[in-house]
Chain A
Amino acid sequence: MRLQSTLAYLFLAFSPVAFYGCTTGILAQQTWSENYALMEGVQANDPAVVDGDVKTVGQSQYVEVSSDAVQNFHASSESVILLPVRRSIHRVVVHSSNVTAFDIWVADNQGRWERVKEMKSVNQKVIDVRLNRALPTTGVKIRINRTTDDAALRQKNTVRRGQWVSYRGHLRAPAKISEIELYGFTSKEDVEEAPSTISEEEADEKELDELLEF
C-alpha cells in the first residue's frame, strides 16, 4: 500500500515534467531545418535553381532515355538536386512561373528513384509541398509533367502535311524554376554542425530544449 502511494506521488510529481518534455520535443521537431539545397557541395542540373536567389531563373533539363537512338521530342524535363550527404527531407518548395503539374522523386540507397508525390493542377508560383513522411535521401528530382508554355511549343514544333504529322522539336516546354528548397526537421546533428549564428541566450535555450527532449 505504501509502495503504491509512493508510486502515485512520483507519477504526479513527474507527469508535468514529462508532459513539458514531450511538448518541447514535438515543438523542436516542428522546426524546419536550414534549406538543404543551399548546403556546401550540393549539385544541380541547373545551378540557378539552388543559388539561394528566388529571382534568378533557371530551368528544368530534358531527359532522354540512354537507349534512344534518336531525339525523343516527347521527353519530359527534370530538375535534379544531389546532396553531398544524406538528409531527411519532409518539405519541398518549388518557385516556378509556368509549372502546372509535376512529380517529386527521391533517390534511395542504391540511387534508384522513387516517386513520392504527384502534384496536379498547380496554379501558385510558390508551391510548398509536405511529404507524407521524412525521407532520408541524397537526391531529389522534380519531373515536369505540364507547364503553361506546352501548348505554344507543341503548336510551334508540330508540322502537319495532310494526314501526316511530324515534329521538329520538343513538345513539352521546360519549367522556368527560380528556386527549389529542401527542408527536413531540425535535428541535434544539424544544430551541432550549423555555424553559430544565434546569440548565447538562444543557444542556452536550445541546449535546455534538447536536454528536456531526453
Chain B
Amino acid sequence: MKDFNPFNKHTLPISILLLILFLSAGCAALEEGQRRKQERTRRQQQERYVTFERPTTEIETASDGVTLKSEHYTFTFAADLLTHPDYDEPDERQNVGKGALLFMESLYNYVHDIFGFEPEHQLMVNLRQTHHGSTHLATTSTRTQTIYQNGEWLKVVEGIEMDFPVAMFNQRDVRAHELTHAFTNVYLLPTWFAEGIAVLVQVEYARGRSHRRLDLQDDLKTDLDGRNALQYWKGHLSADQLTQWRYSYSYSIVAELKKRFGEDFYPKVFRLIEADQLHQRLPGEMATSFLVYYLSQAAGADLVPFFKELKFDARHLTKSEIMAAIMQANQEQLGR
C-alpha cells in the first residue's frame, strides 16, 4: 500500500504558484524601479534645461499679422520692425508671432508657479528693432491711475507694457526677467528689490548667465552718506558705473534670503502684501523699511539687523506706523 503524503501531492502546484507570484512581484518591482528612475532622470533634465509643456492657449492673429492675441498677452510688431526682412510679410509676422506667444504663455505659467499669483491685466508685448535708441534695453512699465474710493485715494493698474528689441527678446532669461517685473510691479516695490527678484528668476530659474552672486560683505558699496548704494537706486534710468554691481548685489540679497528662508519665502511675502493691500495706497515706491516689515513677517524673524548690517536705512515699523506714514504722505501730495 502506498503511503498517502499530502505534501508530495501538492508540492508541484504550490511551487508553480509560488514561482508565478515571485516572478510577477519581481517584474512589478522592476517596472516600478525603472519608472522611478525615468522620472528622476526626466526631473534632472527639466531642471537643467528649463523646458515647458505646450500651452493650450488659442492665438488670434490679425490679417496683417501686426497684432496677435493669446490668453495673457497682446503681442505687437512695432512700426520700426515692419520693414525688417524677417518681418515684412504678414505670413512671417503671424508665424513668428505665434511661436513667440506660445513661448511667452509657457513662461507665464512658469513664473506664475514660482510666485503663486498673476497680474489681473493682459500684458502688452511690443517687439521692436530698437527701444529708446538701443538694441540692448528691454523694459516693463505698469500704468496706474489713482481713483477716489470709500474716502481714500487708491492706485489701480491700467495696463502693463513690455518692450523688447529683437536681440533682447531672443534671450529666454531676459524675457523671464521682464515677465517677473510684469507680475510684481503692481506692488510698487523698492527698485533694488524689484530688480533683485527679477534677476533671481532670470538666473536661478531661467538659467541666465548675465549676473552672478556677490559676497554681501566683501562686495558692499556705499554712497557718500555711508548708506548702501542700492537703497535709493532709480533703476535703468540712472545708469552709471555701478549699474552692473547694483543688479548683481540686489540679486545677491534676494537670493540670500531665499536660501535662508526657503523656496516658499517670496510667495509668502507677496501673499502678505496682497492681503493687506497697503501698496494700493502708496503715493510712490515702497520704502525699504516697509518692505522689511513684510520680509520679517514672512520669515518669522526680525530682518532689520540683517539690512542694517548691509548699511540700509531700515527701522522697525508696525502696521499702524506704516498706515500713518502712508496717510501723511498722501495728504502732503494732495496739499501740493
Known: A55-B95, A57-B95, A169-B167. A45 touches B52 (CB 8 A): yes
Tell me the smallest distance from the CB of A193 to a CB of chain B, in Å. 15
Per-position 1/0 for A51-66, Cβ under 8 A of B: 1010111110110101
A166 within 8 A of B: no
Are B42 and A47 in contact (CB-based, < 8 A)?
no
> Of the candidates B41, B50, B98, B102, which one forms a contact with A45 in the assembled complex, judged by CB atoms under 8 Å apart?
B50
Contacting residue for A41 out of B45, B53, B94, B209, CB 8 A: B53
Q: Is B103 part of the contact surface with A, judged by Cβ < 8 Å?
A: yes
Query: In the complex where A42-B54, A62-B171, A82-B51 touch, is A107 in contact with B45 (Cβ < 8 A)?
Result: yes
Beta-carbon nearest neighbor of A53 in chain B: B98
Give residues 18-48 of B contacting A (CB, 8 Å). 37-38, 41-42, 44-46
Among B46, B103, B136, B171: residue with most chain A CB under 10 A: B103
Given contacts A44-B51, A107-B41, contact A58 B210 (CB under 8 A): no
B99 touching A56 by the CB < 8 A rule? yes
Residues of chain B contacted by A82 (CB below 8 angstroms): 42, 45-46, 49, 51
CB distance from B75 to the nearest CB of A (A): 13
The smallest beta-carbon distance between A79 and chain B, in angstroms, is 10
Which one of A15-23, A69-77, A126-134 contacts B?
Answer: A69-77
Binary CB contact string for chain B from 41 to 74 against chain A (1 if under 8 A, 0 otherwise): 1101110011111110000000000000000000
Interface: A68 (CB within 8 A)? yes
B122 interface contact, C-beta 8 A: no
Is B106's CB within 8 Å of the partner chain A?
yes
B290 to chain A, nearest CB (A): 35
| Chain A contact residue count (CB 8 A cutoff) | 39
Closest to A169 in B: B167
Q: Which residues 263-313 of B have a CB within 8 angstroms of A? A: none
Name the B residues within 8 Å of A55 (CB-CB): 91, 94-95, 98
Which residues does chain A contribute within 8 Å of B54, judged by CB atoms? 42, 44, 47, 50-51
> With an 8 A cutoff between CB atoms, is B243 at the interface?
no
Is residue B170 contacting chain A, with contact meaning CB distance below 8 A? yes
Q: Does A100 contact B (CB under 8 A)?
A: no
CB distance from A21 to the nearest CB of B (A): 28
Q: A44-B51, A56-B102, A68-B209 are in contact. Are A111 and B45 (CB under 8 A)?
A: yes
| Closest chain A CB from B82 CB (angstroms) | 17
Assembled-state Cα–Cα distance A193/B25 (Å): 24
Q: Is the CB of B51 within 8 A of A43?
A: yes
Do the beta carbons of A45 and B212 come within 8 Å of each other?
Answer: no
Chain B interface helix/strand/loop/mixed: helix
Interface presence of B317 (CB below 8 A): no
**Cross-chain contact B41 with A111 (CB below 8 angstroms):** yes
Q: Does B98 contact A56, Cβ atoms closer than 8 Å?
A: yes
Partner of B38, one of A56, A70, A85: A85
Complex CA–CA separation, A68 to B208 (angstroms): 11
A184 at the interface (CB under 8 A from B): no
Q: Does B52 contact A44, Cβ atoms closer than 8 Å?
A: yes
Residue from B42, B55, B210 with most neighbouring chain A CB atoms (10 Å): B42
Q: How far is the CA of A163 from the CA of B204 in the complex (A)?
A: 37
Q: Is the C-beta of B258 less than 8 angstroms from some C-beta in chain A?
A: no
The proximity string for B residues 96-113 relative to A, scoring 1 for CB distances below 8 Å and 0 otherwise, is 101110110010000000
Which of B94, B98, B99, B172 meets A61, CB within 8 Å?
B172
In the bound complex, how far is the Cα of B106 from the Cα of A56, in angstroms?
Answer: 15
**Known A-B contacts A42-B54, A71-B210; A57 and B45 likewise in contact (beta carbons under 8 Å):** no
A178 within 8 A of B: yes
In the assembled complex, the Cα of A180 lies from the Cα of B102 at a distance in Å of 15
CA distance A82 to B210 in the complex (A): 26
On whether the beta carbons of B99 and A43 are closer than 8 Å, the reply is no
A4 in contact (CB, < 8 A): no
Known A82-B46, A111-B44, A169-B167: A59·B53 in contact at CB below 8 Å: no
Looking across the interface, which residue of chain A has its beta carbon closest to that of B92? A57
Identity of the chain B residue whose Cβ is nearest the Cβ of A54 in the assembled complex: B95
Q: Are B53 and A43 in contact (CB under 8 A)?
A: yes
Q: Is A96 part of the binding interface, using a Cβ–Cβ cutoff of 8 Å?
A: no
Tell whether, in the assembled complex, residue A47 and residue B55 are in contact, meaning their CB atoms are under 8 Å apart: yes
Cβ contact within 8 Å between B209 and A47: no
Ranked 7 nearest A-B pairs via Cβ: A48-B99, A43-B51, A111-B41, A57-B99, A48-B102, A56-B98, A58-B99
Chain B residues near A (Cβ < 8 Å)? 37-38, 41-42, 44-46, 49-55, 91, 94-96, 98-100, 102-103, 106, 136, 167, 170-172, 207, 209-210, 212
Known: A80-B45, A107-B45. 7 other contacts (CB 8 A): A41-B53, A47-B102, A48-B100, A56-B99, A58-B103, A86-B38, A169-B136
